[in-house]
Every structure is written in structure tokens, then in C-alpha cells.
């Protein structure tokens, strides 16, 4: 039997957004937003190992079963998309988790709809407006390169651009055929999401006013730009605490699920957001 079931939420512009829900779970709701390219496999070790939570896993536009990104896709539009999943589930408030792109969208949701967010777990959000010109230029170059590769129908090379730095030269074997088939579709829309991240700049005042309990997470082996972003964001969010995950890079929930899950459960316990004991 499948661990999750596929469902659909109606977004503000009337399109259908795919999402998954943990089968048979009736615990506190956790809305988990994946990073660029990887899809909901971003959270596989959390959904499998923490089964009593009510996991809700949207397929962001251009990923999985969801439609392509909107023209000139924005992070704010994506935040309203994932809020529609809460609406479809009749969930008033959830703890919202995000990794990379997903963490950026989670932050936008908290800024736009704070009443829907009980707490935030932000794993290395992509916020080039905070990271500085070097990171912005890196992302610009990345989007340009991937666009040129996709225009030349070089799908494998576009995948390698994202996956080889994370998984090494044997990324095909480590990813597995099933995930690669999905990622070959997802990669087609990665430039649009890089553009959206580059355009997102919430500004210091809204961030300083955000009062949601926040756990900022980074992998101790991550790239310097992501580490810098986490600490700059921590300086602006007065409710934030920072946790480093050992033996992990940019994808800490997958790289070291034991350490990440321990940090997550500690945070959720202090929020009184744990399932009741049997």
C-alpha cells in the first residue's frame, strides 16, 4: 500500500495543484515544501520515519503532477498556491517546512498569511537578495546555462548541472531510475524558479516584524552562500534559532535524516506540536 495518496487543490487562479497526504495519519499538520528539481522525495525520510504527523506535500508548479509555472512565476504566487492545500484539507494552521526553494516559499507564506503558520522550519532558504551580489550572479549564470542546455535538448547535461555537485559523478546511480524520470520533467522548469527566487526580496522591515517561531537549519558541509543567508536571516528574524546538521550539505533532510529529525522533533515539542502518545 502506498504511504501517501495523491490529491488536488484549487489554486487562486483556478488551476489544480497536486499534493500528497500521508495515509492514515491524524496528527498535527506539517506542510512540507520541496526544493527545486527534486520534488517531494525531499521529505521521504521524514514522512516514513515520522508517520503520525499529518504530512501535506505539495507538488510545486513544474514539479511532479502539477501544471507548469505561471508566466513570470513569483514566490508570492507560489505561497498562495500552497495555502490552497491547507484550504483543501480544512487546516487552519500548520507548521511549515521548506528546503531551498521550498523554504523561500514557506517564508513568503508566513509573511503573507501569518495566521496560517504555527511555526517555520527553513532549511537553507534561497534568498539571493540577502546573500549578496556574488550569489545573485551565480544564480543568473545557472539560469542562463540551464536555459541554453534545455534549448539544445541537452536534458542530461541540465540534470548534471544540479545533481553532480550534490551527488557526485555517479549521480545517475545514486538517484535511481524512478526519480530520474521525474527529474527529467522537473528540470524543464528550473530556470523559471531561479528567476522567481532572484526577484523575491521581502525587505528587512517585514522580516523583522515576523513573529512566527522559526528554526533555521543549515548543513555543516553546505556552500558558503547558503550558510551566509541563514545567519543573515537569523539577524533579521527575532524569533529564529539556528541549528547546524552534521554530515549534511544543502539537502539536510535527506543527507542526514537522523540528525535533522531529532532537531525537528525538539522544535515541534517546544511548540506543543507533537502527536499524542499511544
Whether the pLDDT of residue 84 is over 80: the answer is: yes
pLDDT for the residue numbered 188: 97
Whether the pLDDT of residue 132 is over 90: the answer is: no
pLDDT for the residue numbered 166: 82
Whether the pLDDT of residue 28 is over 90: the answer is: yes
The model carries a pTM of 0.97
Angle, helix 177-186 to helix 155-167, in steps of 10 degrees: 120
Average pLDDT of 3-8?
Answer: 97
Residue 168 CB coordination number (10 Å): 10
Is 158 part of a structural domain of the chain?
A: no
Is 136 part of a structural domain of the chain?
A: no
Whether the pLDDT of residue 19 is over 60: the answer is: yes
Average pLDDT of 175-194?
Answer: 93
pLDDT for the residue numbered 1: 61
Of the two residues 1 and 200, the one the predictor is more confident about is 200
CA distance 163 to 156: 10
Range of the domain at 232: 4-131+201-270
Is 164 part of a structural domain of the chain?
A: no
**b (16+ CB within 10 A) / e for 122-145:** bbbbbbbbbbeeebeeebeeebee
State whether residue 56 is helix, strand or coil.
strand
Task: Name the nearest CA neighbour of 30 among 18, 13, 17, 43.
Answer: 43
**In 3-state terms, the chain is what percent helix, strand and coil (to 5)?**
50, 20, 30
CA distance 225 to 134: 8
Is 148 part of a structural domain of the chain?
A: no
Is 115 part of a structural domain of the chain?
A: yes
Residue 200 exposure: Cα atoms within 13 Å on the Cβ side: 30
pLDDT for the residue numbered 278: 56
CA distance 72 to 36: 16
- The overall longest dimension of the chain from CA atoms, in Å, is 56
Average pLDDT of 224-243?
Answer: 94
Paired sense of beta strands 117-123 and 4-10, if any = unpaired
Whether the pLDDT of residue 61 is over 70: the answer is: yes
Is 187 part of a structural domain of the chain?
A: no
Question: How many domains is the chain built from?
Answer: 1
pLDDT for the residue numbered 176: 85
Is 119 part of a structural domain of the chain?
A: yes
- pLDDT category of residue 190 using cuts at 50, 70 and 90: very high
**b (16+ CB within 10 A) / e for 185-203:** ebbebbbbbbbbbbebebe
Q: Are 86 and 94 in contact (CB under 8 A)?
A: yes
Is 174 part of a structural domain of the chain?
A: no
- pLDDT category of residue 137 using cuts at 50, 70 and 90: very high
Most confident among 140-144, 166-170, 175-179 (mean pLDDT): 140-144
Average pLDDT of 177-205?
Answer: 95
Whether the pLDDT of residue 108 is over 70: the answer is: yes
For the chain, percent of residues with pLDDT exceeding 90? 89
CA distance 139 to 14: 31
Q: Are 196 and 74 in contact (CB under 8 A)?
A: yes
pLDDT for the residue numbered 175: 84
The CATH number of whichever domain residue 227 belongs to comes to: 3.40.50.1820
- pLDDT category of residue 44 using cuts at 50, 70 and 90: very high
Average pLDDT of 17-45?
Answer: 96
Amino acid at each position: 500500500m502506498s504511504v501517501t495518496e495523491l490529491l488536488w487543490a484549487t489554486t487562486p487562479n483556478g488551476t489544480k495543484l497536486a499534493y500528497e497526504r500521508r495515509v492514515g495519519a491524524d496528527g498535527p499538520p506539517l506542510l512540507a515544501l520541496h526544493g527545486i528539481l527534486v520534488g517531494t522525495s525531499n521529505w521521504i525520510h521524514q514522512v516514513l520515519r515520522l508517520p503520525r504527523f499529518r504530512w501535506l506535500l505539495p507538488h510545486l508548479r513544474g514539479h511532479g503532477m502539477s501544471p507548469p509555472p505561471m508566466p513570470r512565476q513569483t514566490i508570492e504566487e507560489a505561497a498562495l498556491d500552497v495555502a490552497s492545500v491547507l484550504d483543501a484539507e480544512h487546516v487552519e494552521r500548520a507548521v511549515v517546512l521548506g528546503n531551498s526553494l521550498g523554504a523561500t516559499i514557506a517564508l513568503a507564506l508566513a509573511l503573507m498569511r501569518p495566521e496560517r503558520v504555527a511555526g517555520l522550519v527553513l532549511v537553507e532558504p534561497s534568498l539571493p537578495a540577502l546573500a549578496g551580489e556574488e550569489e545573485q550572479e551565480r544564480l543568473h549564470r545557472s539560469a542562463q546555462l540551464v536555459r541554453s542546455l534545455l534549448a539544445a535538448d541537452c536534458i542530461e547535461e541540465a540534470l548534471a548541472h544540479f545533481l553532480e555537485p550534490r551527488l557526485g559523478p555517479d549521480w545517475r546511480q545514486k538517484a535511481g531510475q524512478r526519480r530520474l524520470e521525474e527529474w527529467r520533467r522537473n528540470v524543464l522548469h528550473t530556470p523559471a524558479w531561479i528567476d522567481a527566487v532572484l526577484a523575491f526580496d521581502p525587505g528587512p522591515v517585514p522580516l523583522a516584524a515576523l513573529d512566527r517561531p522559526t528554526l533555521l537549519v543549515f548543513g555543516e558541509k553546505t556552500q558558503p552562500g547558503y550558510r551566509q543567508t541563514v545567519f543573515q536571516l537569523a539577524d533579521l528574524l527575532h524569533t529564529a534559532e539556528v541549528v547546524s546538521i552534521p554530515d549534511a550539505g544543502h539537502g539536510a533532510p535527506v543527507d542526514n535524516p537522523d540528525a535533522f529529525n531529532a532537531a525537528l522533533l525538539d522544535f515541534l515539542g517546544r511548540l506543543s506540536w507533537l502527536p499524542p502518545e499511544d
